[in-house]
Amino acid sequence: MSAVRSWVVLVCLSTLQFFIAVDVTVVNVALPSIGDDLGVDPRGLTWVVVGYTITGGGLLMLGGRLGDVFGRRRLLLIGTAIFGAASLMAGFADTFALLVIARLFQGAGEALALPAAMATIVLLFPEGKVRARALSVWAAVASCGLVLGFALSGIITEYLGWRWIFLIAVPFVLFVLVASVILLPRDQPQARAPLDILGSMLLTAAPLLFAFAVVEAAENSGAMAWLSPAALIGALIAAVLFVKVERRAPNPLVPLAFFRNRTRVRANLATALLSAALSTSFLLFTFYLQDELGLTPLDAGLLLLPLAVALIAAVTVVPRLMGRWGARACIIVGLPSAAAGMIAIAVVAQLEAPAWFLHPAMLFIAAGMGFGIVGLQYAAVTGVTDDDAGVASGVQRAADQFGGSAGVTVYVGLGFTTSMLHGMSPYVLSSALAIIGLCVAGVVVRRITTSGEKSKAEGCDRKPTCRCLDGISGE
């Protein structure tokens, strides 16, 4: 495929990435309107957000594996079609149950489409500066989608109604489907192998049960107090069973040998911790602007636009700096920036400062996303081959999704629950938890090996198709 056509494909797939990313955050500002229209309390509305992200994250690795087995073009088309149909279903849902079901299907469509899309991009662009530039565009589009989701939610909800936050994606999904059929070559015949369905179910059940335990902890009391501990135990059992299933499965969802590559493992762990902090910051921005300052959804969404502008500026320079400094250096810039953003949020909330005081926090968060996520994505797909590109992409996206969900459920959930019990600022508590997570991520990133790591330690068999990097400098 020519270089020009490869970049056209990147633009096409980035369009899909943008609207999938938008769907992660676009419902946040619109949740009160959804609750009023469908008669649902705030506790129930949590599942509109968490159900989508966790279902998508839990099935992502299965989606990556399906792409490796059945063909990435085929899975991209199927997943995109499911996502579009579910968006249409969500837009016309007349009951809350139907809306939640539609959100679950949206997550499933994402899980099939995104690993195939990212694997296609990874294999289209050679490892080094060109791939770093392509992944920077991919990450920038995703990050802008996450941020603009808040602004779009306010604008659309104010002028068109909350249903259009889902319906607006449908024509663009149709564009991606048509363009993919025209631009992407047909899949080559692949060797069929049994799929690890049980492993995928356990991987989805564990975080869903964990989220239920955290979200419901403050709601259930008396005779129902046992639900949260039971869900937490169930999550632990599902996680343990997942590891056992993966060890014994003839064709595991994620081969345990995949985790012998220490660079990938550390990059994915750091991705989860960084995403947890970033997702927490988004919600804290929204809560502070609307709940504390009393701004309308439209005003709150528009006030978040500087974050998107700063993010675009950050990712513009990341590829060039990655080529000079290396991926790890960019990550090390991103993590402290995100931590500084969380500190700024806590200070502003503690001082009960006006909205414009949050702008420095937005700049720090943008730098954390622009530098950290791009560098971690590059490290997470280091040395991939045509055989494991889908799995590597699925693991990276799952780490991002689970990290974001964990941030919402743990950092925000525990922060606000503890504040109700002890009278402390929920913004300070949530920010403190996020900062602790970022410190752990910093320790993990410091141990990413950038030179001198032997191929055996990386889990590479030195096949001709595998460029095992001595480092992840981006060169």
Task: Using pLDDT thresholds of 50, 70 and 90, give the confidence band for residue 102.
Answer: very high
Tokens of 431: 């920010």
Assigned domain for 406 exists: yes
Across 167-176, 368-377, 448-457, least confident range: 448-457
Distance of CA 443 to the CA centre of its chain: 21
DSSP string spanning 448-471? Answer: ---S---TTTTT----TT----S-
Cα gap 80→86, rounded to integer Å: 10
Q: Answer positive or negative: Cα dihedral of 287, 291, 293, 294.
A: positive
From residue 2, how far is each of 6, 41, 126, 130 by CA, in Å?
6, 53, 12, 14
Across 111-115, 118-122, 452-456, least confident range: 452-456
Q: 43 or 76, which is more confident?
A: 76
Asked if residues 85 and 112 have their Cβ atoms less than 8 Å apart, the reply is no
Task: Using pLDDT thresholds of 50, 70 and 90, give the confidence band for residue 463.
Answer: very low
Q: Are residues 371 and 296 in the same domain?
A: yes
Assigned domain for 59 exists: yes
What does the pLDDT look like over 331-367, one tens digit per residue? 889 999 999 999 999 999 988 899 889 999 999 998 9
* Residue 242: count of CB within 10 angstroms of its CB: 23
Assigned domain for 474 exists: no
Total domains in the chain come to 2
Q: Are residues 32 and 61 in the same domain?
A: yes
Cα gap 422→407, rounded to integer Å: 21
Q: Are residues 235 and 319 in the same domain?
A: no
- Picking from 356, 344, 341, the residue whose alpha carbon sits closest to that of residue 293 is 356
Query: Across all residues in the chain, what is the average pLDDT?
Result: 80
Q: Are residues 342 and 202 in the same domain?
A: no
> What is the DSSP secondary structure assignment for residue 357, as one 8-state letter?
G
pTM of the model: 0.74
Q: Does residue 110 have a pLDDT over 70?
A: yes
Phi, psi dihedrals of residue 262, rounded to the nearest 5° = -65, -30
Residue span of the structural domain in which 236 resides: 197-248
What's the pLDDT at 456? 35
If phi > 0 it is left, if psi is from -120 to 50 it is alpha, else beta; for residue 278 that is alpha
Q: Are residues 202 and 191 in the same domain?
A: no
